[in-house]
Structure 1
Amino acid sequence: MSGPVGRGPRRLTRWWRRRSLRTRLTVIAATAIAVSVFVAFQVASELMDRELQVTAEDQLRADSRVLAADAERAGVAQVPLPPYPGSGRLVRVILPDGSTRTPVGQPALPPVSGRAGRVAQGASADLMESNDSDEDGYRIYTLRAGDGAVQVARVVDDSPINRFGFGMLLIGLLCVAGGALVGRTVARTGLAPIDRLTAAAVRVAHTRDLDAGIPDEGGGEIRRLIQSINEMLAALRDSRRAQRLLAEDAAHELKTPLTSLRLNVELLVRLDRRGTLDSALSAGSRTRLLNDLGAQVAELSTLAAELTEVARGDVSDENTELLDLADVVLAAVTRARSRVPDIEVALDVTSVWVSGRPAALQRAVLNLIDNAGKWSPADQPVQVRLRAEGASAVLEVDDAGPGIDAVDVPRVFDRFYRADNARGLPGSGLGLSIVQRVVDDHGGRATVARSTRGGALLRVNLPAAAPPAPLARRAAGEGTAAR
């Protein structure tokens, strides 16, 4: 039983969802007008029926008072009753013995009710009652007169209400038709900006022209929607431009190591084909060449990894969590030492809690240490300091190298940018740009300055977070422990 019953509403819902917005607005407008007309008809019919009833009752009372005055003068048994005119009111006199008198030719009224009989006997002064038991319903007013009572009645006539209802039905149908037409027109006019917006979006999708903005028109929600789409197109334009620049820069950066790698490989292949590899290259030359090839392959691997990291942009599956930045720094130092065993790092870190992505932050710290390691002399360690400063976590990495020229400072964090004196060092020019992006994603700020040792001082400020409750209570009791 529940299956067929539930299928009807589901079909109606599916039908409704398949309709266009214009059709929905038209149906809603027509339905709203139909409901309004129906409610207005019900209210008007009720008011009209009450008004007609009150008018009829007032007329019955007035006629009864005239007849009662005649009956009191002449007596109920002798009062003259005018002949029945053929329509309109009906009269009747109730005698003390319960019998009745009616005019000649008048249709028979319903029998005298018990309550009307008690009025004739003097139990009450008057009585208004309705009788709908016969084909014609009557409204009868009974009034005490002398030693009996008089009654005046009228047939209950519903024809005015019926005519009114028929007229309201016609008006309602016209209103529904007009409402549907108005709703369709309003929908067409109101949705015109949406149509133009759709056409513009389709044009952008077909032409791939993100520079073709959508005209800002309309107001309210429509205007906000157009502005949002234009902002989305602007973001897509910026993203496409960034991708193009990244591809061009990557092609440029890959050209040199690939050319060098190709030339070295071609040299080895040519000598091997001639059978002169051993005679043309000494053992030391072969070792240097193979080391050069290995360095170039390592540089390409690093560049490919960093290009992948940059191309991913803000896309990351890593969740943000509350973490101790000191643990992240220690993990990054451990990775740096495993990658470059000769690097020396001096640590001075304090437990500072932040909200962030652990892997991204560790990559940023590792890039800072790798960058400093390239410049620091062998006998000078890379210094890594972490402390809390107000509402920020401050990470500083400095080296004892030559420092950064003032002309290069504004572009230190740009993609692929390398200072003139860094051209001969390994690297892709992407490490610090990755640091900048990670810091920006975490709401922080990365800056560069000159170290007290003469080298570069790279500083990262991140918003600090409150430690977990148990650690906060322990810190309050014991103080912050330096690592």
Structure 2
Amino acid sequence: MSRPAGREPRRLTRWWRRRSLRTRLTVIAATAIAVSVFVSFQVASELLDWQLRDSVENQLRADARVLATDAGRAGLAQVPLPPYSGTGRLVRVILPDGSTRTPAGQPALPPVSEHAGRVAQGASADLMESNDSDEDGYLVYTLRAGDGAVQVARVVDDSPVNQFGFGMLVIGLLCVVGGALVGRTVARTGLAPIDRLTAAAVRVAHTRDLDADIPDEGGGEIRRLIQSINDMLAALRDSRRAQRLLAEDAAHELKTPLTSLRLNIELLIRLDRRGTLDTALSAESRTRLLNDLGAQVAELSTLAAELTDLARGDVSDENTELLDLADVVMAAAAQARSRVPDIEIVLDLTSVWVSGRPAALHRAVLNLIDNAGKWSPADQPVQVRLRAEGASAMLEVDDAGPGIDAADAPRVFDRFYRAESARALPGSGLGLSIVQRVVNAHGGRATVARSARGGALLRVDLPTATPPARIAPRTAG
């Protein structure tokens, strides 16, 4: 049963991917050296073979000219041919009738070729040809002499090339082995920073110690990798510190309402057990106590919701949309009126388009209006203005309250921060922090100032977006 053609390459690819980086570098180094040695051997063998052949051909031409000169003086039939000396040099005289003369004791040469016969007949001056048909190959040079020709030949000896090839093979194997060792050493040395980096990362994972930075060593890619991991550790440290602060602040803020809620409930339980619940507390006291319990539960619910929203950070599954910020402000104002009907909200809105997350922006605007509603007197409305200023959407929420002290202004957007004058008012101190987080996530800026009415002026500046086609500007009041 035959295997699919593509299975073997895929299997080889999977095997290669499972190898360690050291093994890959070692194999690559050994393979590169092997290929280099093979190519060098091929080139050197060709050059050596060409050089030897050229030397033999030049020697054959020189010997043939000497023999042709002797034949020209003595004649082809009478030119002396000394007995074969066994040196590998072979000679032959081709007479005009096509017969040949050879020295005594000389090994037989291959028959005169057709091309060599034409040289003897005067068709050309000379001819260099090789004959590999026999067990021993011959390189034969034919030169026109008198009415015939003389031939000088030599056995083609491949032993120098073969010996050279064997030597190159041995050297190549040694180079491959040496290359593998060098590649292994280079891989071990080059990957030493990676090993130390891995050990440091494992140590951080086991000890959970994010304060231990990895030593910056090496250069190039290794240094950039170490710096990136140190930056990641710094971000994790900041995140863990922020989580710890959030948990500590949340525990502190939850302590007061939970304590009050627990004491009131314990009082009701104790009176109920004694059977004096109806007599110990007047109707007015019971009503006030129940109202306090309801307010504390509502405060805890609000605090839990704001903590959940704040703990999410900038992570949200909500998609960014192109929206009219005026619609968001009107919806938030309507919700604020329904929650606290006593708040009078005056809107002065201009259609301004932004790119953002609708629910997050709605929550931020609602927090701004709720914050202003807590401070604004009953006979003074909360003024909400929206307009475009250049490439920015400017949202202002203005109340007629006591305003924000200069000492409190830098911290008004901090988590859980509440001014001394706001301690007795309901709230968690998270509303404006959520506003700042949402505004920052949208590339904007939130600031606080004193309004012309003496109260606080909270201003949000968001980058505008190009409105959809065929949308006419509108205003709302």
Asked whether the two chains share a fold, i.e. TM above 0.5, the reply is: yes
**1:90-142: CA deviation from partner (whole Å, max 9, x where unpaired):** 11111122211111111111111111111111111111111111111111111
The aligned counterpart of 2:437 is 437
Q: Give 3-state SS (helix, strand or coil) of 1:189's partner.
A: helix
CA shift at 1:78, angstroms?
Answer: 1.9
The aligned counterpart of 2:210 is 210
The aligned counterpart of 1:482 is 475
Rounded to whole Å, the distance in 1 between the matches of 2:296 and 2:98 is 130
Correspondence 1:425 to 2:418: no
Rounded to whole Å, the distance in 2 between the matches of 1:100 and 1:379 is 139
| 1:49-88 correspondence to structure 2 within 5 Å | 49-88=49-88
Rounded to whole Å, the distance in 2 between the matches of 1:467 and 1:83 is 110
Rounded to whole Å, the distance in 1 between the matches of 2:365 and 2:80 is 121
* Matched residue type, 2:378: A
CA shift at 1:459, angstroms?
Answer: 0.6
| 1:285-324 correspondence to structure 2 within 5 Å | 285-324=285-324
* Matched residue type, 1:408: D
Correspondence 1:125 to 2:118: no
Q: Give 3-state SS (helix, strand or coil) of 1:86's partner.
A: coil
- More deviation in 79-88 or 334-343? 334-343
The aligned counterpart of 1:271 is 271
Rounded to whole Å, the distance in 2 between the matches of 1:104 and 1:321 is 107
CA shift at 1:391, angstroms?
Answer: 1.6
* Matched residue type, 1:342: D
* Matched residue type, 1:482: T
Rounded to whole Å, the distance in 2 between the matches of 1:96 and 1:236 is 102
- More deviation in 1-10 or 284-293? 1-10
The aligned counterpart of 2:335 is 335
CA shift at 1:153, angstroms?
Answer: 1.0
* Matched residue type, 2:263: L
Rounded to whole Å, the distance in 2 between the matches of 1:173 and 1:320 is 64
Q: Give 3-state SS (helix, strand or coil) of 2:418's partner.
A: coil
* Matched residue type, 1:432: L
**1:213-254: CA deviation from partner (whole Å, max 9, x where unpaired):** 111111111111111111111111111111111111000000
CA shift at 1:2, angstroms?
Answer: 6.9
* Matched residue type, 1:122: G
Rounded to whole Å, the distance in 2 between the matches of 1:335 and 1:70 is 126
The aligned counterpart of 2:42 is 42
CA shift at 1:4, angstroms?
Answer: 4.8
The aligned counterpart of 1:20 is 20
Rounded to whole Å, the distance in 2 between the matches of 1:206 and 1:450 is 52
* Matched residue type, 1:84: Y
**1:237-274: CA deviation from partner (whole Å, max 9, x where unpaired):** 11111111111100000001001111111111111111
- More deviation in 298-307 or 104-113? 104-113
| 1:249-264 correspondence to structure 2 within 5 Å | 249-264=249-264
Correspondence 1:355 to 2:355: yes
The aligned counterpart of 1:282 is 282
CA shift at 1:63, angstroms?
Answer: 1.1
Aligned CA-pair RMSD? 1.5
Q: Give 3-state SS (helix, strand or coil) of 1:108's partner.
A: coil
CA shift at 1:342, angstroms?
Answer: 2.9
CA shift at 1:292, angstroms?
Answer: 1.1
Rounded to whole Å, the distance in 2 between the matches of 1:387 and 1:96 is 118
| 1:188-203 correspondence to structure 2 within 5 Å | 188-203=188-203
Give the structure-1-normalised TM-score.
0.95
Q: Give 3-state SS (helix, strand or coil) of 2:475's partner.
A: coil
**1:350-369: CA deviation from partner (whole Å, max 9, x where unpaired):** 22222222221111111111
Rounded to whole Å, the distance in 1 between the matches of 2:105 and 2:200 is 85
CA shift at 1:404, angstroms?
Answer: 0.6
* Matched residue type, 1:113: S
The aligned counterpart of 1:385 is 385
CA shift at 1:144, angstroms?
Answer: 0.9
| 1:30-179 correspondence to structure 2 within 5 Å | 30-179=30-179
Rounded to whole Å, the distance in 1 between the matches of 2:376 and 2:320 is 33
Give the structure-2-normalised TM-score.
0.97
- % of aligned pairs identical? 87
Rounded to whole Å, the distance in 2 between the matches of 1:325 and 1:92 is 110
Aligned length: 476
* Matched residue type, 2:438: V
Rounded to whole Å, the distance in 1 between the matches of 2:98 and 2:353 is 105
Correspondence 1:398 to 2:391: no
Rounded to whole Å, the distance in 2 between the matches of 1:281 and 1:62 is 139
CA shift at 1:291, angstroms?
Answer: 1.3
* Matched residue type, 2:15: W
Rounded to whole Å, the distance in 1 between the matches of 2:398 and 2:285 is 37
Rounded to whole Å, the distance in 2 between the matches of 1:326 and 1:344 is 18
Rounded to whole Å, the distance in 1 between the matches of 2:114 and 2:332 is 107
List runs of 5+ in structure 1 lacking aligned partners: none
Q: Give 3-state SS (helix, strand or coil) of 2:96's partner.
A: coil
Rounded to whole Å, the distance in 2 between the matches of 1:407 and 1:462 is 26
Rounded to whole Å, the distance in 2 between the matches of 1:152 and 1:325 is 104
* Matched residue type, 1:304: A
The aligned counterpart of 2:371 is 371
* Matched residue type, 2:278: D
CA shift at 1:411, angstroms?
Answer: 0.6
* Matched residue type, 2:186: V
CA shift at 1:69, angstroms?
Answer: 1.3
The aligned counterpart of 2:466 is 466
List runs of 5+ in structure 2 lacking aligned partners: none
- More deviation in 201-210 or 7-16? 7-16
* Matched residue type, 1:441: A
* Matched residue type, 2:106: Q
Rounded to whole Å, the distance in 1 between the matches of 2:143 and 2:323 is 97
| Gap change, CA 1:75 and 1:335, over 3 Å in 2 | farther
* Matched residue type, 1:433: S
Rounded to whole Å, the distance in 2 between the matches of 1:190 and 1:73 is 77
The aligned counterpart of 2:447 is 447
Rounded to whole Å, the distance in 2 between the matches of 1:149 and 1:315 is 99
- More deviation in 319-328 or 55-64? 319-328
